[in-house]
Amino acid sequence: MASHGYNLFMLIFLVLIVPPLSESKLRSQQLITSGSSGSSSNSGVNHTDFEWAIKDMRSKSYHGFAILLQMLNRTNGGLTFFLPGDSDLSEFPIAPNHLETFLMSHAIPMPLLFNDLVHFPNGTLVPSAYPNRMIRIHNHGRSGFFVNNARIVAPNVCMNSLIKCHGIDAIIDYA
């Protein structure tokens, strides 16, 4: 029982502390790379963030997930996506009316770099971006880092926007 209290404390801590740190670092990077044009808003993910995330996914050969995300054509603020590889996506049937469910089931509703994720203790439950679906963190140190059944095989795929992404070796299972 004590570990559940600690896990809840860690989740609350990360929700309150980590996103502002990550966002402030990204905002300063955006000011450096885009100049001080003033066109950047502080209201979360914008169209440019979305485009940069898609470019980052494609640059690391996560083309299938990038296409699915473009089909959805919207995001709900800073997110962390877990990207199955193209071969896994090609074998998994996704009905058009379940696209948002699939994508949000592969996301956490806050932007987290891999260095943020590794601070979660083994067994921590984190809400996915889809209601009533929880992602269990399996932090085995050098032996591997898993979200439910899927191992993170490519950390920090998306680095140029408020959308963060990590490549995984399987479709996330919620069974």
In a domain, 41, yes or no: no
Give the Cα-Cα-Cα angle 82, 148, 7 (nearest 5 degrees). Answer: 100
Minimal CA–CA distance to 153: which of 62, 91, 53? 62
**Distance between CA 92 and CA 138 in Å, rounded?**
23
In a domain, 94, yes or no: yes
In a domain, 174, yes or no: no
What's the pLDDT score for residue 73?
Answer: 76
* DSSP three-state, residue 64: helix
Looking at the chain, the whole-number percentage of residues with pLDDT higher than 90 is: 62
Domain of residue 124, residue span: 2-33+46-168
In a domain, 38, yes or no: no
Q: How many domains does the chain have?
A: 1
The pTM of this model reads 0.74
Quick: pLDDT tens for 45-90: 567 888 999 999 999 999 999 999 999 877 667 899 999 999 999 9
**Distance between CA 84 and CA 155 in Å, rounded?**
12
In a domain, 119, yes or no: yes
Cβ neighbour number for residue 87 with a 10 Å cutoff = 10
